[in-house]
A = this chain, B = another copy of it.
């Protein structure tokens, strides 16, 4: 592995670890693995997808732990709960930068779309709602370009 990538991952893990510490949470390999997977992935995975992806590296990882960890990470605001998309259940997003999520109702892929409008939105809500905001789901759903083609045949 090249040095730059190694450093990036180490730095990333370091800051993830710090984030957990700051919240008064114990640093477990399971939590780090789940958080790192979410941070490195653009798939917006569900709990089951995360469990499946980590099983090779952590054969004893329990599905319950994945659910517990995700609940915790959402609670401290490190991860966003996007709600369920398709039959795979709730999808999660560790990308804290303001953006829009697009979900395809046919293939159930979820992608990101940068948008500066979302930052304004979040600032407005934080300032005006009176709520103690923990996170958000800005997600639009419909047919992705590929599935539009597939459907029109």
Residues on A facing B (Cβ under 8 Å): 81-84, 90, 100, 102, 104-105, 113, 115, 117-118, 120-122, 124-125, 128-145, 148
Report the minimal beta-carbon distance from A146 to chain B, rounded to whole angstroms: 10
- Is A132 within 8 A of B141, CB to CB? no
- Is B113 within 8 A of A125, CB to CB? yes
Additional A-B contact list (20), CB under 8 Å, known A83-B90, A121-B121, A136-B139: A81-B83, A81-B141, A83-B84, A83-B139, A84-B84, A100-B125, A102-B125, A102-B129, A105-B134, A113-B125, A115-B124, A117-B124, A121-B138, A131-B144, A131-B145, A133-B141, A134-B143, A135-B140, A137-B139, A137-B141
Please give, as numbers and ranges, the residues of chain B lying within 8 Å of A138 by CB-CB distance: 121, 136-139
Q: How far does the alpha carbon of A143 sit from the alpha carbon of B75 in the complex, in Å?
A: 11
9 residue pairs, one from A and one from B, having the closest CB atoms: A83-B83, A136-B140, A133-B142, A134-B142, A132-B143, A117-B121, A131-B142, A130-B145, A132-B142
